[in-house]
Amino acid sequence: MSNKEGSGGFRKRKHDNFPHNQRREGKDVNSSSPVMLAFKSFQQELDARHDKYERLVKLSRDITVESKRTIFLLHRITSAPDMEDILTESEIKLDGVRQKIFQVAQELSGEDMHQFHRAITTGLQEYVEAVSFQHFIKTRSLISMDEINKQLIFTTEDNGKENKTKFTGEILLTEALGIKPDRSSI
């Protein structure tokens, strides 16, 4: 007979090692104790953070999918007359992506960006690729980071007065992608 078989040896479950009278039975927990209230608060905070992370992951996936569709659309350009229609359609698709990025910015408003970095990076990278490809097809030149940032300035209405908010541009792209805008022209 081997050591693994037989009378149990060292592989016994921990609760079997205590005599019956020393086992911990379920004790009543005072749910209003300061420690329990603190843990309840931490639980709610973590649940809210995880929910936000999941919402950001979903938005990032949507951004990725729509950006890829835009890139595939741009690959279909074969002739000059066809080009204008496809560029117009790609601009409409990218406007939809920008609205998703605006939703990301709203979710991240007042938050530490580094905690949600992994949730949004993929979508933003794909967006930059789509915008860069579209710009290259239009102009036969590369787009600058400042030009991409300018596309990510959103106008919101705040109690009847117009309020321009640079929610995402530099902040999202700089923090999430690690891209630093070119400041030499300023």
User: Is 38 part of any domain?
Assistant: no
Q: Mean pLDDT per segment of 10 residues, for the chain of length 186 residues?
A: 54 57 61 90 95 97 98 90 93 97 91 91 96 96 92 69 52 61 48
Question: For position 72, which CATH number holds?
Answer: 1.20.58.190
Answer yes or no: is 3 within a domain: no
pLDDT value of residue 175? 61
Q: How many CB atoms lie within 10 A of CB 66?
A: 21
Residue 120 in domain: yes
Cα–Cα dist 160/75, whole Å = 42
In a domain, 121, yes or no: yes
94 and 130 Cβ atoms separated by less than 8 Å: yes
In a domain, 15, yes or no: no
Residue 113 pLDDT:
85
Range of the structural domain that residue 73 is part of? 54-177
Residue 172 in any domain: the answer is yes
Q: Report the pLDDT value the prediction gives residue 120, as an integer from 0 to 100.
A: 94
Q: Is residue 4 part of a domain?
A: no
**Into how many domains does the chain fold?**
1
The CA distance from 27 to 171, in Å, is 50
Residue 185 lies in a domain: no
pLDDT, residue 186, reads 40
129 is in an annotated binding site: yes
Structure confidence at residue 109 (pLDDT): 86
